[in-house]
């Protein structure tokens, strides 16, 4: 069941749209301002966010900027729902990374169609990303066979133009880093860096961070002395549940199951 966060300061509007979405089988929860919405994004990890623009404490643009700066939510579908619909405002929202822009008043059918379209597109993107990441995923060690994890130095490709990007990721992947962090440290703009890495490797910066973390996660899981929660925290995940979901998406099994499958019971 897809989880949808509705951020809307009008209680009546939020109630009506939440009821509409729930009637279609979506798990829906609401926030009445931007700051509350940001907290719910962190705790609930929604599959899609619908957000007003003008709100107290933190407006919709601030919410979207926060969403896009965190690797955990960087590609979460985001739909603006607002009466502010000038060309400049729509353009600004899109430049920040909005996926759609619905203007009030709009019908339930318009919202449901927009939500369905974005979730379908996101599903296709996740399937593509998963397949892309699997290309470089090393085969797990066979049962009862010890096999060292790849050395970090050989993990990243030897590409001079990307060396400082990969060096930064290697030094900081165990921390909660963002795309902006990498760009600032390497003196690239986020847009240029994203394009450069994609052009040179056919992969995203986020995918490289994810894969490096997965290498370290497998190494720590094989040592069999840390809990899954402790492994998550050691490789930069503040939310162990999110780590488990990413690990399962990447390996098709949970960290606990992977450890059981790849640890020699006789050791």
For the stretch 199-211, pLDDT in tens is: 888 788 888 888 8
Show which of 67, 93, 127 is a domain's final residue: 127
Helices (H), ranges, 24-99: 34-44, 60-69, 87-96
Q: Contacts by 179-184 with C-beta closer than 8 Å and gap 24+?
A: 179/69, 179/71, 179/74, 179/205, 179/206, 180/69
Give the pLDDT band (50/70/90) at residue 96: confident
Same domain, 250 and 174: yes
Are residue 89 and residue 149 in the same domain, yes or no? no
Give mean pLDDT, residues 69-96: 80
Same domain, 20 and 91: yes
In a domain, 132, yes or no: no
Residue finishing a domain among 127, 157, 174: 127
Per-residue confidence (pLDDT) for residue 159, from 0 to 100:
87
Domain boundary among 107, 127, 147: 127
**Same domain membership, residue 141 and residue 114:** no
Give the tokens for residue 181: 């962090």
CATH of the domain at 245: 1.10.10.60
Minimal CA–CA distance to 53: which of 22, 92, 106? 92
C-beta separation of 77 from 56 below 8 A: no
Q: Cβ neighbours of residue 149 under 8 Å, at least 6 residues apart? A: 215, 216, 218, 219, 222
For residues 241 and 172, what is the distance between their CA atoms, to the nearest angstrom?
21
- How far is Cα 30 from Cα 7, in angstroms, rounded to an integer? 6
Is there a contact between 50 and 76 (Cβ–Cβ < 8 Å)?
no
Q: What is the domain range of residue 87? A: 3-127
Q: What pLDDT, on the 0 to 100 scale, is given for residue 250?
A: 81
Q: What pTM did the predictor assign?
A: 0.56
Q: Is the pLDDT of residue 226 over 50?
A: yes
Q: How many other β-carbons are positioned within 10 Å of the β-carbon of residue 23?
A: 11
- The answer to whether residues 238 and 146 belong to one domain is yes
The pLDDT, as a whole number, for residue 217 is: 92
| pLDDT score of 113 | 92
In a domain, 237, yes or no: yes
Percent of the chain with pLDDT over 70: 85
* 19-54 pLDDT, tens digit each: 999 999 999 999 999 999 999 998 888 999 999 998
For strands 100-103 and 48-51, give the pairing: unpaired
Same domain, 16 and 73: yes
CA angle 78, 247, 205 (to 5 degrees): 55
Q: Per-residue confidence at 154, pLDDT binned at 50, 70, 90?
A: low
- Angstrom distance (rounded) from CA 47 to CA 91: 24
What CATH number does the domain containing 93 carry?
3.40.50.2300
- Arithmetic mean of pLDDT, 161-177: 90
Same domain, 80 and 159: no
Number of domains in the chain: 2
- Per-residue pLDDT of 238-257, as tens digits, reads 888 888 888 887 888 899 99
The answer to whether residue 267 is domain-embedded is no
Same structural domain, 146 and 118: no
């Amino acid at each position: 069941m897809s989880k949808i966060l509705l951020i809307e300061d009008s209680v009546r509007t939020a109630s009506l749209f939440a009821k509409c979405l729930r009637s279609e089988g979506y798990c829906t929860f609401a926030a009445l301002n931007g700051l509350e919405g940001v907290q719910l994004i962190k705790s609930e990890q929604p599959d899609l966010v619908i957000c007003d623009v003008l709100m107290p404490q933190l407006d919709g643009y601030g919410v979207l900027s926060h969403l896009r700066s965190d690797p955990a939510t960087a590609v979460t579908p985001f739909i603006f729902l607002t009466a502010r619909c000038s060309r400049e405002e729509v353009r600004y929202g899109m430049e920040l990374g909005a996926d759609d822009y619905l203007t009030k008043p709009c019908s339930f059918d318009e919202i449901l169609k927009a939500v369905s379209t974005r979730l379908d597109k996101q599903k296709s993107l996740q399937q593509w990303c998963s397949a892309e990441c699997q290309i470089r995923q090393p085969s797990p060690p066979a049962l009862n066979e010890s096999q060292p994890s790849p050395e970090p130095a050989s993990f990243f490709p030897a590409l001079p133009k990307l060396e400082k990007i990969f060096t930064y990721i290697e030094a900081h992947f165990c921390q909660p880093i963002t795309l902006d962090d990498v760009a600032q440290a390497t003196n690239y703009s986020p847009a240029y860096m994203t394009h450069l890495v994609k052009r040179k490797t056919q992969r995203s910066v986020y995918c490289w961070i994810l894969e490096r973390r997965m290498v370290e996660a497998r190494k720590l899981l094989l040592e069999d002395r840390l809990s899954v929660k402790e492994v998550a925290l050691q490789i930069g995940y503040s939310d162990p549940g999110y780590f488990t979901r990413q690990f399962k998406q990447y390996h098709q099994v949970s960290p606990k199951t992977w450890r059981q499958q790849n640890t020699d019971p006789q050791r």
